[in-house]
Each structure stands twice: as C-alpha cells, then as structure tokens.
Amino acid sequence: MMRQYELVDRVRRYNPATDEALLDSAYVYAMKAHGSQTRASGDPYFSHPLEVAAILTDLKLDDATIVAALLHDTIEDTKATRAEIGKKFGKDIATLVEGLTKIRKLDLVSKRAAQAENLRKLLLAIADDVRVLLVKLADRLHNMRTLHFVLEEKRSRIAEETLDIYAPLAGRMGMHDMREELEDLSFRQLQPDVYRSIESRLSSIREKNAGLIKGIEQELTSELAREGIKAKVRGREKRPYSIWKKMERKAVGFEQLSDLYGFRVVVGSIADCYAAVGIVHTKWPFVPGRFKDYISTPKQNDYRSLHTTVVGPGRQRVELQIRTQDMDRVAEYGIAAHALYKDSDKSNGEILPHDSNAYAWLRRTIEMLAEGSSPEEFLEHTKLELFHDQVFCFTPNGRLIALPRKATPIDFAYAVHTDVGNSAIGCKINGQVAPLVSELQTGDEVEIIRGDAKTPPAAWDAIVITGKARAAIRRATRSAVRAQYTGLGRRMVERAFAKASLPFSEEKLQAALPRLARHTTEDLFSSVGRAEIKPDDVLRAVDPEWRGERVTGAKTPKSEGGWFGLRRASSLKFRIPEKSKEEKTAAIPIRGINGELPVRFAPNGGAVPGDRIVGILTPGEGITIYPIHSPALKEYDDQPERWLDVRWDMEEAVPQRFPAQVGVTVKNVPGSLAQVATVIGEHGGNIDNIRMSGKSPDFTRMVIDVEVFDLKHLNAIITQLRAKKVVSAAERVNG
C-alpha cells in the first residue's frame, strides 16, 4: 500500500506548489476513518481510495481532487460527516465528497426507468464541478481492475454498467486511455471466450512480429529527422475490445484486419504536423479515404490530430496519429488537461474547464434534463450522444456543425436552432436539392429550406439521430397536441355556456379554477378537451345554482330528439332536417386531421364533407368523426355525454382529402383490379388500401380505402365504377 510520502511525491512531480500538509492530513484522516474495514479481496479498505488518488495523480489533478479521492467513501462508509469534513478540509472539498457520496448511492444497472433516473442524478451531481466525474471515473477504473474479487453474480452487472455508461462518458470527456481500459476490462468479463481468442491471436502475432513496432518507430523517427522535424514516435498494439468492435462493425474476421498497430507521432508545431504527413505520404503509399484532419475540425471532446494510414515497412499497414505536445496532452488526459492552478492564498487548485468543448457538451446534456418528458427519454438521448462517432458539416456561411454519424439534414437543422428544425420543409446538400432523410457526410454544406409551419411531423421522431432533435420534435408535438385539446375544450365550454344561456367569461372561469383543481384556464380547457372534465361540471363550478340537463351535444336530448332521433330518422329513411343557424353556430367546426383540433375519422368507412356528421369524444384521444348513418354509433347510445355536435368548416382555397370506403364486386376476369384502380386514379381518388373480403368462382368482393375531397367526389367515383362492365356492384361502405 502506498505511503504518505509516496503520494505527496507523485503530486509534487507535476505540482511543486502542492500543499503537503493537506495531503498528509487527508491521508491520515481517511485511514483512521476506514479503520479495520476490508475489501472483498481481503485488503484494507483504505487501499481503494488510495489507489483512486494514485490514478488521479497520473492525470495531474489538483490537490482538492486528490483529497476528495482519499475521502470519497468516508461519509457513506464511516462515521465521518459532511460538516466535519468541511470544518477540517474546507467547503470546496466537502462539496466534492458529498457529490461523490450521492453518486455512490446510484444503481445504474437496474430497471430501465430507474437506470434513466439515476443517469439524470449522476449528470446533475457533476453539473457544478466536473472533478466529481473525474474522481468517479477513477473510482470505477480501480473497481474494474479488482473485479475478480467481487461475487460472480455481481460482476456482469458492474461490467455492463461500465461499458454502457462510464466508458462512453470517459470518451466524451476526451480521456481515451481510461475509456479503452474500462472497455477492455468490461469486455473481458462480459465475453471472456471472445476476449481470450483475440488475445491469443494477438500473442501469436506479437511473437511473429517481434521488434516490428520498435523498428517502425525508429524508421519513422529517422525519416522525419532527415527532413528537419524532431518527433517522438510511440507505437502500440490495438486493444482486444477495439479489434472486436472493428470486426463487428465491418463484418470481417480477425485474419482480414490489416491495421492492428497504431503510432502516435508527436511534433513541435502545427506546421510540423502537416509537414510530417507530406513526408510520410511521400515515403510510403497511403490508403485512400483514411486521411482525417481533426486539427482544422476538432472533435467535440477537444481531440485534435491528423490521422492517416500508410502501407509502411514490411508492407505492414500502419495507422498514424500526428499531433503536437499540447494536442497529445489533451488526447491523453481529456478534460483533466484543463486543470489550471490559481495563484491565491489557497494552495489547492481549481479546474476551470470553461474552454473545454467536452465540458460544454456536458452542460448542454444537463440542460436537456429540463426538456425531456421522462427519464427514459433522457436516457435515450444521452446514449445517442455518447455512442455515435461524428461527421462535420457546414452551413452556407461556413459555420461548422458536428453531428453523429448517420445524421440527417433534420438533425442538422435542429443543431443550428430549434426554430430552424421546427420550420424545415426541405434542404440542399452541396447546392443540390435533397431529401430531408439523406445521410450526411463529412464536408457537406447543408442549406435548410424553411416554411411557415412551426410544428414538425411527428414521424420525424423515428428518423433523427441526435437527442437534441428528438427532444425538440417530441416537445413540439406535445405542444401541438396540447394546443389542439385546449382549442377543443374551449369550444366545448363555450358551446355548453351558450346552450345553458349563460354568458361565457374567462374571468368567471378563472375564479372557478380552484373548485376544478386546475391552475390556469388553459389547463382547464385541455382537461375538457381530453374528456377529463365534463363541460357541465365547469358550468356548475362557475354557477353553483345552475341545475340544467347534462350537456350531451344535442339541443333536445329526449328519446326522439338530438342525435338519437336523427339516427333513427336516418335509419328509417326519414328526411334529416337542416340545422338552424343557431345550431350551426354552436356546433364545433371540423377542418380535417391537420386542423386545430384533435380529430380522427371513423376507422371503418371514414367521413367526408357533405355527410351529416357527429363527433364521439374519447378520453385522451380527441374526437372521432362518424357519418350520422354509421351503424358503429349504436354502441354509444348509452353514453350521451360523449356525443358532440360538429359541422364541416372547409376552406375552398385549401382542398383536403378525407377517408372513405368503397365496396366493389367484380367479375373474375384478368385485369379487373387494374380497371377499378384506373377509374379511381383517373377521377382524382387516392387508394390507401385494398382488401379482398370474399371470392367465388365468378366474382370477387373487395373493400377499397380511398381518399376523396367530398361526398360529391365520392359519388362520382362510385358512378364511374358502376359503368365498368367488369363491375357487378359498387357502393359506399360504413362500419
């Protein structure tokens, strides 16, 4: 176990101004607090926080973070308190330890909802100070290194959690070495046979190519030196998890992998980076399509480097990463490389990651917490952000937009601004009009074409890749749906007031809100529209003395009046009387499924303008529109409170199509279906679906879902169908 002076020496190597007394005090305090506690391995428990602190010294972190690592389990596992730690070590360290204590209570591998909620808590805990995450990652790394001491039934859970959450987080924070070790340790636990197989093959290749890495290092260094570039070249073998992921991604076997070695070339300046690429490409042939410039377009976690692959010495494929010393430091330590030491009376440093893109991503992700409607949705968004590689695209004015691979112009639009995404109707990629579902490639210039609409299609939710776009689409959809229900509820309440001969007043509604358990009139209208509150309940809340009949959607809800009388009259072929002007004014106007109300049409038969219609209110689903003669209305005879008086309110300048069903009986001759489809198409109908409902040796019965503009249009199509010799019968169908 590491001694006090050894820990102090490790810190002093990179921070000569370290507060030795503070480190010594924390060492002694933690050791005494944990006392005789032991780990699953049988080692003293204090060895764990000490190893966590040692990992953080490799990242060259400040005194406060090292002390927090030493103390991170004291509040949870010993008699130590936050107040005591604050008094002895200061508020800053006490806050860090408390944040780590909260995270430790999480169980990230659990039911999906719990896992999602705990990820929210994890990110909230690190929102104010990213050092909490750095200590937690180091804590997890040491736990993974000692995972073999844990009970067998717990190992896979911990490894899955590490691979699912902590390794991607380390990668997003730019800490690539830590991410790779976490991935490998998890991989070894979760797929031991695959891990051993890859490790065995690497071992045999290692023996076969003994000295290859060293030879390439020397040759690269010499070649660059001859051209006046001083460089440090370090080669290494790829890790088993990285190899396995590449095999899985490219669907190839181990034998087909030719680039098992990677080399880092560290030079003195950015100019040397580009010069080195030129020298390497001149000396050895490079592999087309494998050059990437992350210096001019850095990754979102601040990673900068030039990547290329060449066929190097011995015809061996060699991956090269060429970077400066500063770039190498960020690539190795990630966000930890942004540790800055303040000159102040306090000797412990403070991390100021204000210039870190990785930290900016973290803050944006945390901001999304307030926008997600559920923990599961947030987990989905965050994992999308964690696991995708990136492409880099440009706006027409040259702004760089980084997106996940397979992102679409819709994702691009939302990355520019939420309003741009909500109003997007088309796009141009590199000057050419392209579908909004196109997959973007690095270097694409994307121009978004906008319209007047402010609500995106709900179907986009299944198309987009980024969490931001998905959250914005769902938020806009929820707002639009709420607006529809609010509009419906307002009309229902206004109509109820009119039928009760009571003056409608929002001021009166406002005063009645407490009795209806709603905060705003918008909440009230939305609840009425969703059928959570009945309009007559609103009337009673506004005017307790009102004792009218239950509002049913009819002016005379007697046995032979209202919609019941109309239905019976229709079924007996009596003439349906025209509505009075007052009735038309009171009825709720219907403009189709794209209007301001939550409307859908009867599933079997639909309804079209020209039909006398009735609305059936379904809680949480809105209004279903039926023709008054629909047999399906019988099942609502005993639910008068669900019947709504509705009317068509169409705009001639904006024609819409509406669903209907046509039953057609045709002769069994070749081409009969084609003739039916041709008639419908030539007369402006749109076929949605065709079902064969019965077949005999001579005739076939089919039911066709067709979209038409109105009743006149539908009747014209039916008339033309009946005129065909192959058609025995054609009529409208209503379920």
In order, the DSSP letters of 177-218 are HHHHHHHHHHHHHH-HHHHHHHHHHHHHHHHHTTTHHHHHHH
Handedness of CA 424, 429, 432, 435 (dihedral sign): negative
pLDDT at 102 over 80: no
User: Two tokens at 36?
Assistant: 């005789």
* Sheet strands (E) in 306-445: 306-311, 317-324, 339-340, 350-351, 390-394, 400-404, 424-429, 432-434
**Range 299-318 average pLDDT:** 83
Between 663 and 106, where is the model more confident? Answer: 663
**Tens digits of per-residue pLDDT, 500-556?**
888 888 888 888 888 888 888 888 888 888 778 888 888 888 888 776 654 444 443
CA R_g for the chain: 35
Distance CA 630, CA 340 (A): 75
Q: Are 72 and 135 in contact (CB under 8 A)?
A: yes
Query: Which of the residues 6, 76, 419, 621 is marked catalytic?
Result: 76
Query: Does 77 participate in catalysis according to the annotation?
Result: yes
Confidence of residue 576 (pLDDT cuts 50, 70, 90): very low
Q: How far apart are CA 251 and CA 363, in angstroms?
A: 36
**Strand ranges across the sheet with 643-644:** 599-601, 622-627, 613-618, 643-644
In contact, 338 and 355? CB cutoff 8 Å: yes
At residue 411, does pLDDT exceed 60? yes
The yes-or-no answer on residue 9 being catalytic is: no
Question: Percentage of the chain surpassing pLDDT 70?
Answer: 81
Angle of CA points 309, 313, 317, to nearest 5°: 30
Q: Quick check: 247 pLDDT over 90?
A: no
One-letter amino acid for residue 564 of the chain: F
Confidence of residue 454 (pLDDT cuts 50, 70, 90): confident
pLDDT at 357: 64
d(CA 348, CA 424): 50
Active-site entry in 9, 20, 77, 177: 77
Residue 104: closest CA among 149, 135, 148: 135
| Highest mean pLDDT (candidates 173-187, 266-280, 393-407) | 266-280
Domains of the chain: residue spans and CATH:
4-191 (1.10.3210.10), 196-335 (3.30.460.10), 358-477 (3.10.20.30), 552-648 (no CATH), 658-733 (3.30.70.260)
